[in-house]
Structure 1
Amino acid sequence: MSSGGRPQTRTQILESARAMFEEHGYHGAGLGAVAKEAGVSRQAIYLHFPSKVELLTALHLHIYATDVVPVLERHPVTDAMTVWEALDATIAADVEVASRVWRIHEALVVARRQHPEVEETLRVREADRYGELLELGRRLEREGALPPKIDVESVADMLWGLVNTGTYGNLVNERGWSLDRYRCWVRDTIRLHLGAQ
C-alpha cells in the first residue's frame, strides 16, 4: 500500500470493494466500479492500492481482522474446557466464519488461481487455521478421545472438509439449511466418527 491517503478513505474503499466483489465476483468488479461505489476517484483507489490484486489482498486481511478475529474471540478454545467443549467451540466459530465470508471467499478463490500474491495471503491464514485443527486433534489424542483407526491429521482433515465455504454453500445456501442445523450436523458427524456420545 502507498503511504499516502487517509485511513478512513482506505477503509471506505475496502468496504465498497467487498460489496462489489461479493455481488459481481472477481472478474465482474472493476476498479472504476469500486471507486464509484466508494464515492472516490479512481486516482484515490490507486493512491491506496496500485492494482486490483493488491486491493483484493488487502481486503482479505481487512476481513480477517474485522470479521474472523471477532468470531474467534467470541468462541474461544481454552484449556479449562473439556475436549468436547473445545470441539464445539471450534465448530461454532468455523460455521459462523463461513456464514460471514462465503461470498468474498468465492472471489478470492478465483483470484488466487491467477495471482500468487492472493494465493500467498490465503495460504498463510489457511495454514494457521489448519494448525489449530491439528492442535485440537492432538488434544483429543492426549485425552484418549481418538479411536484407534483415526489419527490426528484425519480429525483435522474431517473438520476442514465439513466446515468450509463449499460445504456451507451447498447445505445452507443451496439446500436451505439453517446455521444451527448445519452446525449440529458438523458436530454430530465428527462425534459419530470419533465414537463420542
Structure 2
Amino acid sequence: MPESAKRPYSSPLRAESARRTRLLVRDAAARLFIDRGYVSTTVRNVAEAAGVSTRTVFTAFPGGKAELFHEVLHAAIEGDGAAAPTQVPRDGDPVERILDQMVGFSTDVLERAGTLMTTSIESSGADDDMRRFADEGARASAENAMTLAEGLAAHELLRPEISVQRAADVLFTVVSPQVYSMLRRQCGWDVDEYRNWVKATIRASLLH
C-alpha cells in the first residue's frame, strides 16, 4: 500500500473503552480519598478498588495520585452533569432571592465536593500536592467571596458599617468547607438546616 494511502489507526471502541476505564479508576479513587484520606490512599489501592492493574491507572493518569485527586475534585465541583442546580423562586423578597441563589449555589458545590475539599486541607501539612490544592482552593474561595461581597454592596444591601472586605471575610468563612464539614458531618445537620443557617448568618452579620 502506498505510504500516502496509510491512515493512523483509530478505533471508536478503543476510545470508549479508555474513557470507561478512566471513569472507573476516577470513581474508585474518589471513594478511597473520602474514606481513607489522600495520604493513606496509594495508586495500588486505587487499582485494586477499580479492578485494574497499577499500570492501567498510570496509563489513564500519568501524573499518578496527584492527577487523580485533581480530576476527582474537578469532577465533583463541576457536578459531572449529574446534579441539577438549586431552583430559585422568582417572586417574594428580592433579598431572599439573592440569598437563595448565593447560598443555593455554594451548598450544591459543597454537597458534591466539600468532603474532598476538606481532605485536601487536612492533608496539606503532610503532602506538597495537597498543600498546593488547598492553597489554590482557598484563593479561589476568597476571590469568589469578594465578588459576592461586591455584588451585595452594588445592590446597597450591606449595612453602612460593613465594608466590602469585612463582608468578603464573613462570606469566605461562613461557606467554607471547614464550617460545612463541622455542621453537616460532625454535628449531623441535614442540608436544609445548614442552608437556612448560612442564610440567617449572612442576614444577621451583613445585611440591612
TM-score by length of 1: 0.80
Q: Distance in 1 between matches of 2:185 and 2:81?
A: 20
Alpha-carbon displacement from aligned partner over 1:17-70 (angstroms, at most 9, x marks no partner)? 000111111122111111111111110001122321222122222222335995
Query: Structure 1 residue 140 and structure 2 residue 152: aligned?
Result: yes
Cα shift readout 1:50-99 (whole Å, capped 9, x = no counterpart): 3212221222222223359956x4468x9xx9454223211122123223
- 2:73 aligned to 45, 55, 60, which one? 60
Letter of the aligned partner of 1:54 in structure 2? E
8 A Cα contact 2:107 2:195, kept in partner: yes
2:171 maps to 1:162: no
The 3-state SS of whatever aligns with 2:111 is helix
- Cα distance, 1:188 vs structure 2: 0.9
Task: Quote the offset at 1:121 in angstroms.
Answer: 4.9
**In the superposition, relative to structure 1, how do residues 182 and 64 fare at CA in structure 2: closer, same or farther (>3 Å)?**
closer
RMSD: 2.9
Counterpart in the other structure of 1:180: 192
Q: How many aligned positions are there?
A: 188
Which runs of 5 or more structure 2 residues have no equivalent in the other structure? 1-14
Give the percent of matched residue pairs that are identical in Structure 1 and Structure 2. 24
Deviations 1:100-129 (A, max 9, x none): 32322233224444224x555555555444
Contact 1:87 1:136 in 2 (8 A): no
Query: CA contact under 8 A between 1:35 and 1:45: conserved in structure 2?
Result: yes
Residue range with higher mean Cα deviation, 23-32 or 167-176: 167-176
Q: Return the offset for 1:172.
A: 2.1
Decide whether the 8 Å contact of 2:110 with 2:177 is kept in 1.
yes
CA contact (8 A) 2:77 2:113 kept: no
Structure possessing the higher relative contact order (Cα contacts under 8 Å, 6 or more residues apart): 1
Normalised TM-score (structure 2) = 0.76
Match of 1:47 among 59, 63, 71: 59
